[in-house]
Each structure stands twice: as structure tokens, then as C-alpha cells.
Chain A
């Protein structure tokens, strides 16, 4: 043992300080709770919540438990995050590539977009979309149909609902198509490595993913019909749409602002990634006779992705955390439903805030583990 006093003392002091601070907090919390007659415990989760939530993915009303309310909030948070991440990624990649375009106008347009949306607080953007922009939409009775089936009104976006028959067969056909594509890809790779022959994997995959589900319609007995929202009069001046799926304006405002804001950061990551691949790589690839598409697919993208993915992961995490701003416009996400309404009703500040924080921590850590795994998979395998 070569433990020296010099090594132990600073650590000991730090640990004692941390323990003292936490001890001080816990001690006070105990006394405060005793004085106010609150008891600590997570038992309230199974009690009846007796409040309603406007928008929920699972069945929920006041008779369900607080835990169910927590799930409703969590699912809404995940919904917003997933939609936001998808849109932000698509938009961010387009803008990031546009930023490198030799076309002056496109380049400046993309730069303007990035500088504009990046420098305005996200909360302000959410408020802008929700309170100013979406409020300018028409009332349900005045709304004009977009393509005859979508209705964009002040009360939200109404889209047709899918009504499936034998959905499971369709689903299995999709799964089968995906599995077939994976098998073909592996096979194609082997063939190329052994014989140098190239199989047009892309077109085969495209065909498979269309043809198999199509077959399920033709012979599998799958039927799909649409339920178009229909205007219905409730009172003389009050109209709503019935049928179809309605997306509340809160959700639209939130996804719109989250994805527009995060896309600027993703665009910068993409730009940095593509710029980070040396010019020599491109020239070398072209000089051995690869087509421009092959250069992009086989040489540039694999290297650029390595630079792009870690910061983009951070942006995904930020988007997920920023989705908590939903509370400001009353979109029933985790913070609003659980840390807002449920906390007001039960008064269990410590329990509820700790559960909320722990949930976000878990979400963040799981996204970062997933992306780390992916990052490791595509990282350079040095021999």
C-alpha cells in the first residue's frame, strides 16, 4: 500500500463536504416535512388522480392513477421528441448540405436560416408559433381543405385516420420485407467481396419494400380506408371536426419550433462533418474511377458520419430536454402533467421533482448509449 497522506486528505475533505451538504439538506427536509405534516413516499402513484388531460396517446381520464398520468406525460414527451428529431434531422441535413452548395443564393439562404433561427431563444419561438402564428389560422367553419382531406384550423390540424382491416398481415409483410432486405444486403456484400460483382441492392430493396406490402393488399385480404374529418356544428357559432385524427395546436407549435431550432444546430454539425473530410479523399476516390454517387456513398459519407454523429447526438438530447418547454404553452408533457398538475394536487414536491428528473436522466442516458453504440460501430477499426 502506497497511500500517502497527500493523496487522502483532499479526497477526504471533498467527500466530507459533499456528505455534509447532503446531510444538511436531508435533515432540513425531514424537519420541514414534519412541521408541515407531509410524509415522504411514493404511494400516491397508485391513487386516483382526478384530473383530466387534453391530449393523450393512451386512454386516460380522472379515474386513473397518478402513475397513469405520469405515463401519459411521458408518452407525450416522447412523441414530441421523436417527431421533432425526425423533422430536425431531415431539415438539418438539407440545410447543412445547402450551406456547402456552390450556388451563391442557396448558400446564403441556408446561412440566413441558420443565423436567424439559432439566435432567437427557443421559448420565444414556441410562443411566437403558438400565440401569434397559429392564432392567425381560420376557425373550423372557415377552414379550407388542403388536398381535400387536411384541415388546418385554429383548433389544430385534422388529418384523415387510417382504418385497417387485417392490419397484422400488412405488418408481417413489412417485417418480412425488411428481413429480406437485410439478408440480401449481407449476401450482396459477400458476393462483392468474393467475386467483385455488384448487385443493385438499392433497387431490389425498393422493389421489396413496395411489392410485399402491395401483395398483402391484393391477396392477403388487407383493406385500408380513410376516415376524413367532417365539420360538425355544436352550437350556432361553435364548430368542430369529427372523425380522423386531430393534432392539437400545442403539438404543432412545439414540433415546429423544436425542429426549426434544432435543425440549425444539426445543419452546422453536418456542414462541419462534410468539410472535415479532406479534399484529397474526394480526389483520390475520383481518380480510381468511382462515380460521383459512389464517391459520396463509399468515401465521403462514412468519414463524414464519424464527425457528424457525436455532436448530432448532443442535439438530439437537447431537443428531448427542450421539449419540456411544452409546459409553457400547456402541451401536456411530462413536466406539465406530472411536475405541474400532479404536484399541485398532491404537494409531494420532492418525490415528483425527483421522479421527473430521473426520467429525463434515463431518457438522456439511453439516447446517448444508443448513439455511442452506433458511433462505435462506425468508428475507424484500426488494426
Chain B
């Protein structure tokens, strides 16, 4: 064995360095581990400062010793390559390892070990951990807001049916695949609107609209037998005609009892809330902001100067102001702009405000996609004799939208994360309900649990959305 130089670990004395380094590292690791998990201070006999720094120093020396290039041991090389490349990285790695070890016990004990789950009153929450009983008791409020307990099945049923209807795309056969876009862009939002308007809101409005529903369903069924050439005109004329015929000629109000479903009490939008309201608002804003944004993106690239200026003004205005002031505007200023007897529900006002606001961002994203397309695409489409609309619908937009999937997903994520702001107009979705619950005199002092709970929910939703958009991006990626 050659002479060992401790300042310079080398391959010749691999085993010595390996054992020494691992031993030192293990000691430092165990010291921190015992300290954090069993509250045992192994180095307690040392002065305070030394016992605090000692594991770091020992671990650092240990890592220094095992930093041997091309040692021939696969795991060691991997370790060195990934967390132990140089002194600086070694210190950082050690710090991160220690922080993780240190933070596991308190987090674990707060979340699970010392937390209370049972019971349904505040009395059970005596431990130092989280009081999940609070979440359990308030669960309905966090999910449904002030929606009456007895009526909550309506929200559940609507959401389940909408999810089922939304998943139709996965089961569609090739024959129906080409109708999917139409389904998702036009029919599905309409069905969702009907569900939310009639079923969740409930009440007498159902009656008047039932003609419309029957007319729509009838015309869609008949539509399948109409030759393709006339379909456009058919869908332009027939549904309206059917509606008029149904309403004024065939049926009279006495004959149709469909709308008078007993037990569907009207629930005003002020009572809606919780996570379900988050979903409803996000859903409608998503649907509305996309076409508006697309229109303004096209407007901004339009050849007509006046349309361009108006679009630029619109986009820059909404992008320049914070959403909270837009909601303020919709709450206090917008009613001034309407005729006196004309009343718009505050939920609708909030949806309009958020949609317009997000539309400006969507417009900028889509404009990016339009600009990224090579001029050749426009010229090729024009040379085939396509007009403006044909060119955009069949050539430009499909490609541009494919390019901007990540940007649009980011905008939608921002939209979902912005929904808590509707507290400005007095609507309480989940964060608003948390703030309300936290001020309840019987349940004071559980703010932390509530916010952690909401944070977990939002995190799951947003993370899932971003992963989905990433998959979508990969799926539609085309090489140019």
C-alpha cells in the first residue's frame, strides 16, 4: 500500500478512502437523523455551536474522501456524478439532505401522527397536530358553499353527467370522430349551460326553455338525415322554426308539465359557492374567453386599420389592469352602465369580466402562434383561391393553435388560479368559504388546516392540467 495523502483522495487507496468517507458521512447522517426523529442530541456534550456544525463538517469531509474519479464502483461513480461533483455541490447536497431529514418529523406529526380525524366538534382537536375534523365538518360548505344540503345531489348529478358527457371523445368511433370538434365546441358547452342553468339553479325558468330543448334535440335527430349540402341552412333555420312551432302552435302551457318538476327549488347564485363554483366559473370562462380571444387575435392581425386599432386597444387595456379592478368595475361601475330595470346576476357579471380579461391574454398567445407560422402557409392558401375565412379556418388556425397549446394551457391555468378573486363581487368559492369558516366563533384558530386543504386541492387541479397540456403538446407536435 502506498503512502496515503489525505488531502488528495485517489484510486490507489480506494478502499481506505471509501470506508473512511462512508463512515464519516454515516456518522453525520445518523447524528442529524437521531436528532430530528428521536430528539436525541448525540453531540450534546459539545458547545452549542460546535454540535450544530459538526455533522456538516463531518459529512463534508466524508464526501470529500469518497470523491474519487473513475473508481470503478458503479454506484459510487453515480453518486459522485450526481450530488458530489465538487466541494460547493457537496455542501449544498448535505444541506438539502439535512433540511429534508429535519423537516420530515414536524411535517409528518402535524399532518398525520398528532392530527385528529375523528369526532365532529372542536373538542377533539386538543393535540398539537392538524385538526382535520374541522375540514370534515365543514366539507359540504367548502364543496358547495351555501347551497342547501338537501339539494346538493343536483350539483353532484350535474357534474357527474357532465364528466360522463365530456369523456365521450374517448369512446367515439372513427365514424363520429369528425363531429367531435363540433360537439366539444358547440354542443357540449350548450348542454353544460342547460345543466347548470336549469338543474343547479332550478326553478320556474325551466319551463319556458323546455321548448327550446325539445326543439334542439328534435332538430339534431332530424339533422342526421339531411344531405350534407343543405346542412348549414338546415341548422340555421329549422331549430328556430321548430321552437316557434312548438311554443306557439303545437303545445300550450297546460300540456307540458315537464318544467314543473316538483322539488327543484330555485337556488339563487349568491348561495352557490365552494369548489363547485370554482369549477362552474372556470368552465364558462374557459369557453367564452377562447373565441373572444381568437377574434381579437385575428383582429389585431387584420388588414383593416380600424379593426386593428380597436383590437389593440382592447387587448392592451385588459392586459394593463389587474383583474381585481376589473371585478370592482363589474361590481360597482357596470350596473351604472345598464338601463335601470335591467338586472344582470352577479355571477354572470363576474363570468363576463373574467372572460373578457382572460380573452386579452388568449388573444396575445394566439397572435404569437399566428406570427410564428411561415408566410408560405398564407400564400399557399391564397394561391389555392381560399378566402379570408376559409384560409384561417382550414389552414392557418389549426396550425397556429397547435403551436400555442402550452401558452393557452398557461392562460387557462392562470384563469383557474384567478377564480378566488371573485370574493370582490361577493361570491365565495373555496378560498372565500375558508375565510368565512375561519371567522366562525366555534371554529376559531384553524386557518392553517383550511388553507393547506385548499392548497392541496388547487395544486392537484393545476398540476394535472399542466401535465395534461404537456401530453397534448406532445401528441399534436408536428415536425416542420
Contact = CB atoms under 8 A, between A and B. Distances in A.
A4 B454 CA distance: 58
B97 A361 contact: no
Contacts of B423: 328
Interface of B is mostly: helix
Given A18-B310, A128-B451, A121 B420 contact: yes
Contacts of B451: 124, 127-128, 131-132
A350 B83 contact: no
Interface string A219-233: 000000000000000
Interface stretch (B116-124, B187-195, B316-324): B316-324
A131 B439 CA distance: 11
B67 interface: no
Contact of A339 (B328, B336, B420, B462): B328
Contacts of B305: 11
Contact of A10 (B304, B337, B448): B304
B417 interface: yes
Interface stretch (B10-18, B44-52, B88-96): B88-96
Contacts of B435: 127, 131
B369 to A, nearest CB: 16
A95 to B, nearest CB: 13
Interface in B306-360: 306-307, 310, 316-317, 319-325, 328-329, 332-333, 335-340
A89 interface: no
B459 interface: yes
B431 A124 contact: yes
A14 B447 CA distance: 50
B463 interface: yes
Interface string B2-34: 000000000000000000000000000000000
Most buried by A among B304, B306, B336, B340: B336
Most buried by B among A15, A136, A353: A353
Interface string A320-349: 011011011000000100010001000001
Nearest to B332: A349
A116 interface: yes
A14 B324 contact: no
B421 interface: yes
Contact of B336 (A28, A343, A356): A28
B41 interface: no
Interface string A113-155: 0011011111111011001110110000000000000000000
A48 B192 CA distance: 51
A364 B319 contact: yes
Contacts of A125: 455
B85 interface: yes
A106 B92 contact: yes
Given A25-B337, A124-B455, A105 B320 contact: no
Given A127-B431, A365-B320, A324 B325 contact: yes
B418 interface: yes
Given A121-B458, A321-B322, A353-B329, A131 B447 contact: yes
Nearest to A321: B322
Most buried by A among B319, B448, B451: B451
A132 B317 CA distance: 36
Interface string B358-374: 00000000000000000
B325 A105 contact: no
B82 interface: yes
Interface in B156-193: none
A339 B92 contact: no
Interface string B94-106: 0011000000000
Contacts of B92: 103, 105-106
B96 A106 contact: yes
Interface in A52-108: 101-106
A325 B332 CA distance: 18
Contacts of A357: 321, 325, 329
A29 interface: yes
B466 interface: yes
A9 to B, nearest CB: 10
A28 B310 CA distance: 23
A369 interface: no
A11 B304 contact: yes
A37 to B, nearest CB: 13
Nearest to B93: A105
A28 B93 contact: no
Nearest to A118: B462
A33 interface: yes
Interface of A is mostly: helix
Contacts of A328: 423
A122 B413 CA distance: 12
A11 B320 contact: no
A35 interface: yes
A360 interface: yes
A29 B337 contact: yes
Nearest to A120: B455
Given A105-B83, A127-B435, A131-B451, A360 B336 contact: no
A353 B328 CA distance: 8
Contacts of B431: 121, 123-124, 127
B300 interface: no
Given A28-B337, A121-B420, A327-B324, A105 B96 contact: yes
B322 A120 contact: no
A18 B296 CA distance: 14
A335 B82 contact: no
Nearest to A35: B340
Contact of B307 (A11, A26, A131): A11
Interface string B438-450: 1000000001100
Given A28-B338, A321-B322, A339-B328, A14 B306 contact: yes
Interface in B104-150: none
A34 to B, nearest CB: 11
Interface string B33-76: 00000000000000000000000000000000000000000000
B299 to A, nearest CB: 8
Given A105-B93, A360-B320, A32 B340 contact: yes
Most buried by A among B317, B321, B420, B466: B321
Interface string A1-45: 000000100110011001000001110110111010000000000
B333 A106 contact: no
Interface string A260-282: 00000000000000000000000
A158 to B, nearest CB: 24
B137 to A, nearest CB: 18
Interface string A347-378: 00110010011001100110000000000000
27 contacts: A11-B305, A14-B304, A14-B310, A15-B306, A24-B337, A25-B337, A28-B339, A35-B340, A102-B82, A103-B85, A103-B92, A105-B92, A119-B459, A119-B463, A120-B417, A120-B459, A121-B420, A121-B431, A124-B458, A125-B455, A127-B434, A127-B451, A133-B448, A325-B324, A356-B325, A360-B320, A364-B320
Given A7-B304, A357-B321, 9 more contacts: A102-B85, A103-B93, A106-B93, A121-B420, A121-B431, A131-B451, A132-B451, A325-B322, A353-B328
The 4 closest A-B pairs by CB, nearest first: A119-B462, A321-B322, A104-B82, A25-B337
